[in-house]
């Protein structure tokens, strides 16, 4: 399909092919994947538009475009995703970090600019994107990151190394089970929160991600309830909980925390004006 083509005609052919498969951003996908295959920045493609890639690069590009045409996410094809301006390694064991999760990280950073908070627990860390970003951008003395999936913990450790972060304790734990007697100033989490009904109608791309990273039982509320019930034991006085929200369930989740006597509950909206972060104080 791509034999003998230069960068410009390659991009056009790939874009037309991906468009025919009804992908929503064929031009961007074609460019990102070609810059990955050629190991150059996307912005440099225009400078080499008349160059012909090698046969090896062509067959690698063809393979990438075919994978994308089957709706595999670009981040799994390249093996990397951007988050808070850092690069994170991703594979099928971890959720691809999402832009809306950056709001969760930014909310914690704003909070720690006002209040002196030294320790943080990132529950359900996955790729480690939240914990590593907080280590790079915050002033925490102690950071613990946990996940039930040992493969995810390995990726998170690698992401800490890639981003030159040395001060995170990684713990394999089913929610709080292995957190032992440690206490934290902040507990942060982007837990699985998709309901079974929501999962069934997700875009095909999300079916490549681990189902255990997306769905939660009890109508998507399982992790919110676990955290509301147990976090008090792991928080210092005046500690905070910060959670990413299932925007469809924000009122129900807020109620879960109101029922457990958390105070100063705030809901922070994302750029689409959807309720995205819950912040609550544990007195």
- Residue with the closest Cβ to ligand SAM? 126
User: What are φ and ψ of residue 275, in 5° steps?
Assistant: -65, 120
149 binds ligand SAM (CB under 6 A): yes
| Residue nearer to ligand SAM on the CB measure, 75 or 175 | 175
DSSP of 94-141: SPPP-TTHHHHHHHHHHHHHHS---EEEEES-TTSHHHHHHHHHS--S
Q: What binding mask, one character per residue, do residues 100-119 give for ligand SAM by CB under 6 A, x or -?
A: -x------------------
147 binds ligand SAM (CB under 6 A): yes
Q: State the CB neighbour count (10 A cutoff) for residue 80.
A: 16
Residue span binding ligand SAM (CB under 6 A) among the ranges 7-15, 64-72, 108-116, 142-150: 142-150
Which of 262, 246, 252, 234 minimizes the C-alpha distance to 190? Answer: 246
How many residues sit in the footprint of ligand SAM (CB under 6 A)?
21
| Residue nearer to ligand SAM on the CB measure, 40 or 137 | 137
Query: Distance of alpha carbon 62 from its chain centroid, rounded?
Result: 27
d(CA 31, CA 10): 10
Question: Out of 130, 153, 155, 278, which residue is the one contacting ligand SAM (CB under 6 A)?
Answer: 130
| Residue nearer to ligand SAM on the CB measure, 107 or 127 | 127
d(CA 6, CA 258): 61
Q: Where are the alpha helices (DSSP H) in 6-128?
A: 7-20, 26-38, 55-69, 74-78, 101-114
- Residue list 207-226, contact with ligand SAM (CB under 6 A): 212-213
Residue span binding ligand SAM (CB under 6 A) among the ranges 42-50, 64-72, 121-129, 266-274: 121-129
| Residue nearer to ligand SAM on the CB measure, 30 or 227 | 227
163 binds ligand SAM (CB under 6 A): no
The burial of 123, by beta-carbon neighbours within 10 Å (0-12 exposed, 13-18 middle, 19 or more buried), is given as buried
Q: Which residues, at least 6 apart from 64, have a Cβ–Cβ distance to it below 8 Å? A: 33, 36, 37, 77
Question: Out of 103, 109, 148, 265, which residue is the one contacting ligand SAM (CB under 6 A)?
Answer: 148
d(CA 200, CA 88): 28
In whole angstroms, the minimum distance from the beta carbon of 124 to ligand SAM comes to 3
In whole angstroms, the minimum distance from the beta carbon of 77 to ligand SAM comes to 18
| Residue nearer to ligand SAM on the CB measure, 127 or 163 | 127
190 binds ligand SAM (CB under 6 A): yes
Q: What binding mask, one character per residue, do residues 73-102 give for ligand SAM by CB under 6 A, x or -?
A: ---------------------xx-x---x-
247 binds ligand SAM (CB under 6 A): no
In whole angstroms, the minimum distance from the beta carbon of 246 to ligand SAM comes to 10
Q: What is the CA radius of gyration of the chain?
A: 21
d(CA 277, CA 267): 6
- Where does this chain bind ligand SAM (CB under 6 A)? 94-95, 97, 101, 124-127, 129-130, 147-149, 152, 174-175, 190-192, 212-213
């Amino acid at each position: 399909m791509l034999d003998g083509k230069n960068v410009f005609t390659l991009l056009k052919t790939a874009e037309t092919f991906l468009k025919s498969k009804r992908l929503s951003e064929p031009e961007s996908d074609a460019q990102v994947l070609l810059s990955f295959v050629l190991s150059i920045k996307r912005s440099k493609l225009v400078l080499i538009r008349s160059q012909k890639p090698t046969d090896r690069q062509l067959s690698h590009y063809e393979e990438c475009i075919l994978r994308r045409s089957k709706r595999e996410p670009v981040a799994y094809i390249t093996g990397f995703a951007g988050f808070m301006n850092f690069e994170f390694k991703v594979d099928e064991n971890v959720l691809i970090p999402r832009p809306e999760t950056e709001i969760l990280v930014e909310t914690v950073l704003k909070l720690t600019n006002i209040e002196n908070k030294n320790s943080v627990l990132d529950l359900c860390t996955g790729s480690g994107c939240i914990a590593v970003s907080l280590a790079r951008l915050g002033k925490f003395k102690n950071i613990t990151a946990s996940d039930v999936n040992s493969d995810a913990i390995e990726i998170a450790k690698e992401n800490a190394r890639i981003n030159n972060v040395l001060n995170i304790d990684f713990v394999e734990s089913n929610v709080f089970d292995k957190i032992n007697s440690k206490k934290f100033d902040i507990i942060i989490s982007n837990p699985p929160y998709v309901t079974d009904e929501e999962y069934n109608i997700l875009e095909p791309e999300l079916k490549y991600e681990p189902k255990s990273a997306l769905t939660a039982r009890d109508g998507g509320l399982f992790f919110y309830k676990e955290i509301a019930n147990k976090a008090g034991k792991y928080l210092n006085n005046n500690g905070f909980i910060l959670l990413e929200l299932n925007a469809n369930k924000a009122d129900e989740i807020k109620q879960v925390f109101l029922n457990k006597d958390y105070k100063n509950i705030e809901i922070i909206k994302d750029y689409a004006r959807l309720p995205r972060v819950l912040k609550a104080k544990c007195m």
